[in-house]
Amino acid sequence: MSTPLPHLVPSRAAKKATYDSETINPILDEALFCTISYSMNNQPFSIPTSFVRDGDKIYIHGSVGSHFIRQIATGIPVCITVMLVDALVVAKSAFSHSVNYRSVVIFSRAEVIEDYDQKLASFQWLTNKVVPDSWDYLRTAKPNEVKKTTALAFSLEEASAKMRTGMPNDEEEDLELPIWSGLIPLSSERLAPVCDPLSVNIPLPEHLKHL
């Protein structure tokens, strides 16, 4: 996107925003969850959900009976947000504290995926994102399960990324204060799998051993 649309430009620290897919896509690929916000009948809603990116679209799914899914499937405008936190930025003053983060904001409308094979593929992409390489290990999806699930796609045409890196930006008069400042790194990682009692005699599959 050469010239970003006005609603994509942050009102503060606009210089931290970027609009290229080379920056946006890795953030979307790392994040497991997004928040989808919309308004119906003058009532705001904001729903967290898992998602996956393929090409220039992201995909979510949910039950055909879900009020949330039914509402956004009508094509109403939505705002989708993702945030990854890398560190707490501890300054010499509480008002100079910050966060090192990577975030994406997307303005879009849902596209209902009707084709069976494309729906199934989007479920496979999401399953393998949440639990890598697990789709082929699991019981094959039943046609009625696919039928009972709605798949929605959202274009990334109107998307922007914003991020912060680095150390605290203290006020000049605070720089010599004998107060510790720096970073508290944060991470999100998959830990060792915990066995379901029903699976105590079933070997841990290879795709889970590598987590």
Domains in the chain (CATH in brackets) are 6-209 (2.30.110.10)
- Average pLDDT score, the chain: 94
Percent of the chain with pLDDT over 90: 90
- pLDDT at position 109 over 70: yes
pLDDT of 17: 79
- Model confidence band, residue 127 (pLDDT cutoffs 50, 70, 90): very high
pLDDT number for residue 143: 96
Average pLDDT over residues 82-106: 97
| Rounded Cα gap, residues 12 and 98, in angstroms | 14
What residues contact 185, with CB distance under 8 A and at least 6 apart? 86, 87
Question: What pLDDT, on a 0 to 100 scale, did the predictor assign at position 185?
Answer: 98
Measured between alpha carbons, how far is residue 17 from residues 14, 159, 163 in Å? 5, 10, 7
Look at strands 77-90 and 159-164 and give their pairing. Answer: unpaired
Minimum mean pLDDT range among 10-19, 88-97, 193-202? 10-19
Is the separation of the CB atoms in 50 and 126 below 8 Å? yes
Q: What is the mean pLDDT of residues 71-93?
A: 98
pLDDT on residue 210? 82
- CB–CB of 27/125 below 8 Å? no
